[in-house]
Structure 1
Amino acid sequence: MTRPTGEPGPYAGVSRTAVVIAQAREAESARPDRLFDDPLAGPLADAAGRVTGISEAGRRAGEHFVLRTRFFDDRLREATAAGPRQVVLLAAGLDTRAFRLRWPRGTRLFEVDLPDLLSRKEKVLADHGARPACDRTVVPADLREDWSSPLLAAGLDPGEPIAWLIEGVLMYLTPEDGARVLCRVSELSPPGSRLAAEHVNRAYAELPQMRPAMSRLAATQAAWRSAVEDPREWLAGYGWRATVTHQADLARELGRPVPAMADPRAVGAARIWLVDALRDGGRPPGAPA
């Protein structure tokens, strides 16, 4: 059933941002020049309760979400083409990559997120007869707690390379919680594993044009709590060799206007980091055998 427009949805806090992203993906899928096709985004947004009255800043954020989605689609395709057959989406939200991307034979995909969000998402997918294009497993867990034990119990094999995606969540974690997530990801990742992630620097979080959005996020218990100044150095400390793609370069590559929220002419040194990294060293101390 479609939830009436304006009626409060069941998701709150950071989970509520997943609805905004689903709406952006739905709108992109309706374009004749779409960068991806996500037919399940609309039904998931309907069931969750659409976010109405999106501001101009919210519309600009939608442009970022679209480019970000395509960037991470491509990184996951490249990662699995290079060998890894295990994919982990941390804080998966209303992501439907298990259904809409073409995966190599034998791919196992794990979606980790809060139990309530996943249970509601599973109902929508079942109601629409959605069938994944890979072996898909949902893992109810909170990234601020022990999420790796249920992931291992669900069948993740730390002896084989893994492609990780951490999209749109690290800035919502405290620096301590974010460090614990990256430590555990690194401990579980043998050489050949890949990591795709998004973060921001402090200058971006403090942009004057971001203040209204930051206030709204804080009011919904979804404040940004951390930032990273040098993503290459940041990930090198965990044993990853990272490359960073600038949004302006990505937009030009994909034939889209540079989003105002990422245009250096408008935001100066503020950055949204889109990162792809390779694990090519030994395991860190304490990693599982």
Structure 2
Amino acid sequence: MAEQQLLPDGVQRTAVGVARVRAAESRREDRLFEDPYAKAFVRAATGSRSQAEYAAPMERSAAGAALAARIVLRTRFFDDYLLQATAAGCRQVVLLAAGLDSRAFRLAWPEGTRVFELDLPPVIAFKERVLREEGAVPACERSVLAADLREDWPQALKNAGFDPTARTAWLIEGLLVYLEAEQADTMLSTVTELSAAGSRLSLSEGRTSPRPISDHGADERFRALTDLWKGGLGEPAADWLARHDWQVTVHGKDELEQAYGRPVPDTLSEGFLVAERGRPG
């Protein structure tokens, strides 16, 4: 049994909560995805092998259940987005605040794909220990960068071999809500500067603030999570991206329900967007 390897408190610990949700989804017969490493991350973080640890823990409250359902939907949506983007020619993939994401190992990447994963040093150290213990082998070229996204992460990315002149598929999953508006604006501006024509980006729609749902029957664990939310951009991400030469497509509640056969909770009804960097001329 792997030694318990606790992550620090705060935003970094939310990665374990997401892993719990992904582990629970992976056990369902009608699962929308299968993450074979999610259970190992939870086990390493908690020191428990109890199946109860892998059940969707947020479902103690209506708000928590809604958030867990949203994590499942966004995981599958972003899986599909990344495979579509790489099939269309984006051979660089950048996962910002990758957390305990295991897509480099579990998705069927086109030949020549390189995935860059960025997160804080404690998250990276924990993740890499668990993956080594599991004997995980990536299905693509993989570069892992310990970086603070509030600092000079673009230079670290370039030093690792990232080519800003090549098309890139960016993923910002569940991150902007933890940033102040100015920080979120800076991050998207930086991504835009690093994106060659034809690059793609996907993230949550950002149409409404998620903070009010914490007042609707949320348990203590859920409130601890929402206390970390800073509000993000303060405007719909689609509007920001359109002003900065991105062509945006929004995938809303009805489309997601039809595509995946799962209800989208009304308390978290915003969709996801995919944007393509404008081409010259």
Which 5+ residue runs of structure 1 have no aligned equivalent? Answer: 263-270, 284-289
Give 1:20 deviation, angstroms. 1.0
- 1:229 matched to 2:229? The reply is no
List aligned pairs for 1:90-239, cutoff 5 A. 90-207=96-213, 208-209=215-216, 215-217=223-225, 222-239=228-245
Which sits farther off after the overlay, 224-233 or 36-45?
Answer: 224-233
Give 1:231 deviation, angstroms. 2.7
Q: How far apart, in 2, do the equivalents of 1:111 and 1:203 lie?
A: 27
Equivalent residue number for residue 85 of structure 2: 79
Give 1:2 deviation, angstroms. 5.2
Q: How far apart, in 1, do the equivalents of 2:277 and 2:131 lie?
A: 33
The one-character-per-residue Cα deviations of 1:132-160 (angstroms, maximum 9, x if unpaired) are 00000101111111111101100101111
Q: How far apart, in 2, do the equivalents of 1:11 and 1:246 lie?
A: 34
List aligned pairs for 1:31-70, cutoff 5 A. 31-49=28-46, 54=58, 55-56=60-61, 57-70=63-76
SS of equivalent residue, structure 2 residue 118: strand
SS of equivalent residue, structure 1 residue 206: helix
Give 1:214 deviation, angstroms. 7.0
The number of equivalent residue pairs is 270
Distance 1:51 1:40, change over 3 A: closer
Matched AA of 1:189? S
Equivalent pair of 2:39/2:54 in contact (CA under 8 Å): no
Q: Calculate percent identity across the aligned residue pairs.
A: 46
Distance 1:183 1:227, change over 3 A: closer
Give 1:73 deviation, angstroms. 0.4
Give 1:260 deviation, angstroms. 4.3
Equivalent residue number for residue 278 of structure 2: 280
Q: How far apart, in 1, do the equivalents of 2:222 and 2:131 lie?
A: 32
Equivalent residue number for residue 24 of structure 1: 21
Q: Quick one: which of 249, 258, 267 aligns to 1:252?
A: 258
Distance 1:3 1:200, change over 3 A: farther
SS of equivalent residue, structure 2 residue 85: helix
Equivalent pair of 1:204/1:272 in contact (CA under 8 Å): no
Equivalent residue number for residue 49 of structure 2: none
Matched AA of 1:275? L
Equivalent pair of 1:67/1:251 in contact (CA under 8 Å): no
Q: How far apart, in 2, do the equivalents of 1:261 and 1:67 lie?
A: 14
Distance 1:10 1:231, change over 3 A: closer
Give 1:9 deviation, angstroms. 3.3
Give 1:234 deviation, angstroms. 1.2
CA RMSD of aligned residues (A): 2.4
Q: How far apart, in 2, do the equivalents of 1:203 and 1:170 lie?
A: 11
The one-character-per-residue Cα deviations of 1:11-31 (angstroms, maximum 9, x if unpaired) are 321111111111111111111
SS of equivalent residue, structure 1 residue 89: strand
Equivalent pair of 1:89/1:166 in contact (CA under 8 Å): yes
TM-score, normalised via structure 1 length: 0.86
Matched AA of 2:29? P
Q: How far apart, in 2, do the equivalents of 1:32 and 1:51 lie?
A: 15
Which sits farther off after the overlay, 274-283 or 15-24?
Answer: 274-283
Q: How far apart, in 1, do the equivalents of 2:218 and 2:43 lie?
A: 28
Matched AA of 1:125? L
Q: How far apart, in 2, do the equivalents of 1:27 and 1:168 lie?
A: 19
SS of equivalent residue, structure 1 residue 190: coil
Equivalent pair of 1:19/1:51 in contact (CA under 8 Å): no
Matched AA of 1:209? H
Q: How far apart, in 1, do the equivalents of 2:253 and 2:6 lie?
A: 31
